[in-house]
């Protein structure tokens, strides 16, 4: 026993090195399980505060651009509202049923940190559990899909950006409703791959790709991007489709967090099915 | 050592903040991410005890990890660098210089040795970093390219900063 101690003491440098590397590796490997490593993430309050301070300062440089974008979004929403009102006037009996409470609620939030240059990019927002943010809520911007929340602290939250190879979303081509899964290609901050679209579908460059209904996280029809390129790989039955993302992740400032009020109900139902 | 404690504490915070607030946001085509915070490890005194060296490396790495949402990746890379640092120091400097308890700065080591010291350290650290980040050898050549380009930028920034500091 004593010789063991002496051995450990003499080689403590190597032992300590191995121990610390083991800790690091266990952290790297458990990266897949976001909840478990919540404390090593920028959703914690100290980190969030530092990022928020810096982003206040950074904001002044993009005020006019942000304003222009918000004004454009306002205009487009107003147009949609006008359309609704006209429809209502035309068909006054076609009233929405009050039983159908809105399935989705939106909370606006500010991006306090956002990376685009890694293989696994994350995004941090300035709202957290006190503002009703929970894991598994979607993040969208005026231009399109941004990501999904994974960790929350009382005042901050972090999530996977769409520019994260571990994140895939159910997407469909608007024109023909065929759906597949969309994953970032890991190369550019504005392109992604759409997989699982079978051969017989007619695909054109410029077709828009939107979220499909079966994601459960995003409302149906949120813009993701447009098809920029497609080709056929030998030996498979599916297209290789490149999508130009509509969200500009490099200049992202304001986003909305989507809460699906029926998500829990749906999840419960689906797990029941699995159990049988 | 004790009188330098304040200097090192300030340097730690400055380097971490510069890294996470400025350099982590640099985006050249997604291939270049300079990581200059390891300058802190490079500048620790030669005579620092091993447990302290490894401990500091781990804390530094995990700090960068917390800001960047990359649990363990930077910590692993900095601990590896800390482990190899005595060996790198021996490689680039003389025994007397190490035993006298100097710090491995540009003025102490001399220009050529300091460059060698920086280049070897950055290459080792970045190699671990980028391959641990990709966590696969799938995009081997792309990761290799990221490693080389980022290392070049880190080395230039580290040497440049030392030039500015020690010229005065």
Residue B61 with chain A: CB contacts under 8 Å: 24
**Is A276 a residue whose pLDDT tops 70?**
no
What is the domain partition of chain A in residue ranges? 2-32, 38-261
C-beta separation of B46 from B97 below 8 A: yes
Residues B89-145: pLDDT tens digits? 888 877 777 777 677 777 778 888 889 999 999 999 999 988 887 765 557 788 888
CA atoms within 13 A on the CB side of B110: 7
Question: What percentage of chain A has pLDDT greater than the value 90?
Answer: 14
Bridge partners, A239 (sequence order): A232
Interface test with A, best of B49, B57, B69, B134 (most A CBs within 10 A): B69
pLDDT-wise least confident of A2-6, A77-81, A222-226, B40-44: A2-6
Q: State the Rg of chain B over Cα.
A: 15
User: Residue B32 has what pLDDT?
Assistant: 80
**Is A13 a residue whose pLDDT tops 80?**
yes
Alpha-carbon distance of B151 to B121, in angstroms, equals: 10
- How many cross-chain Cβ pairs, A to B, lie less than 8 Å apart? 105
**Is A45 a residue whose pLDDT tops 80?**
no
Going along chain B from its start, the domains and CATH numbers come out as: 5-167 (1.10.1760)
Give me the mean pLDDT over the A219-247 stretch. Answer: 87
Residues A87-116: pLDDT tens digits? 878 877 766 666 666 678 888 998 888 888
Alpha-carbon distance of A268 to B57, in angstroms, equals: 46
User: Which among B68, B75, B133 has the least Cβ separation from residue A24?
Assistant: B75
Alpha-carbon distance of B35 to B129, in angstroms, equals: 10
Residue B27 with chain A: CB contacts under 8 Å: 116-117, 189, 250
User: Which among B17, B33, B58 has the least Cβ separation from residue A20?
Assistant: B58
In this prediction, residue A37 has a pLDDT band, given cuts at 50, 70 and 90, of: very low
Alpha-carbon distance of B38 to B36, in angstroms, equals: 5
User: Residue B1 has what pLDDT?
Assistant: 55
Tokens linked to B42 = 């490079």
CA atoms within 13 A on the CB side of A168: 13
Question: What percentage of chain B has pLDDT greater than the value 70?
Answer: 90
Q: Which CATH architecture has domain A38-261?
A: Beta Barrel (2.40)
Tokens linked to A95 = 């009233």
Bridge partners, A236 (sequence order): none
User: Residue B77 has what pLDDT?
Assistant: 94
DSSP A109: E
Residue among A20, A87, A261, A1 at smallest CA distance from B54: A20
Q: What is the pTM of this model?
A: 0.69
C-alpha A131: how far from chain center = 18
């Amino acid at each position: 026993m004593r010789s063991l101690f002496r051995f450990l003491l003499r080689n403590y440098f190597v032992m300590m090195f191995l121990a610390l590397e083991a800790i690091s590796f266990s952290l790297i490997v458990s990266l897949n399980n976001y909840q478990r490593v919540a404390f090593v993430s920028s959703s914690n309050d100290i980190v969030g505060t530092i990022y928020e301070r810096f982003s206040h300062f950074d904001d002044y440089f993009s005020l006019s651009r942000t304003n222009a974008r918000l004004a454009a979004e306002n205009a487009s929403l107003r147009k949609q509202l006008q359309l609704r009102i006209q429809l209502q006037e035309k068909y006054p009996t076609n009233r929405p049923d009050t039983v159908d409470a809105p399935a989705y609620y939106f909370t606006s939030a500010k991006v306090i940190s956002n990376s685009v240059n890694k293989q696994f990019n994350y995004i941090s927002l300035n709202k957290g559990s006190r503002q009703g943010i929970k894991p598994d809520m979607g993040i969208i911007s005026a231009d399109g899909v941004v990501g999904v929340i994974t960790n929350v602290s009382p005042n901050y939250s972090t999530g996977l950006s769409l520019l994260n190879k571990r994140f895939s979303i159910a997407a469909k081509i608007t024109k023909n409703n065929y759906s597949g899964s969309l994953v970032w290609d890991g190369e550019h901050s504005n392109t992604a791959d759409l997989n699982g679209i079978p051969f017989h579908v007619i695909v054109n460059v410029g077709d828009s790709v939107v979220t499909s209904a079966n994601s459960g996280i995003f409302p149906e029809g949120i813009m993701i991007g447009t098809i920029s390129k497609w080709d056929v790989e030998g030996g498979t039955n599916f297209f290789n489709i490149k999508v130009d993302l509509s969200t500009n992740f490099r200049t992202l400032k304001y986003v909305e967090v989507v809460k699906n009020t029926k998500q829990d109900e749906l999840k419960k139902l689906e797990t029941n099915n699995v159990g049988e | 050592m004790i009188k330098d404690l304040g200097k090192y504490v300030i340097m730690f915070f400055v380097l971490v903040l510069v890294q996470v607030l400025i350099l982590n946001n640099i985006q050249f085509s997604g291939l270049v991410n300079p990581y200059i915070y390891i300058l802190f490890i490079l500048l620790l005194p030669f005579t620092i005890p091993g447990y302290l060296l490894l401990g500091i490396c781990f804390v530094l790495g995990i700090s960068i990890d917390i800001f960047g949402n990359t649990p363990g990746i930077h910590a692993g890379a900095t601990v590896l660098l800390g482990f190899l640092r005595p060996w790198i120091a021996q490689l680039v400097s003389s025994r007397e210089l190490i035993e006298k308890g100097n710090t491995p700065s540009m003025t102490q080591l001399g220009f050529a040795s300091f460059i060698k010291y920086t280049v070897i350290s950055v290459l080792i650290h970045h190699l671990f970093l980028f391959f641990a980040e990709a966590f696969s050898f799938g995009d081997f050549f792309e990761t290799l390219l990221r490693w080389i380009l980022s290392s070049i930028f880190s080395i230039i920034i580290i040497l440049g900063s030392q030039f500015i500091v020690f010229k005065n």
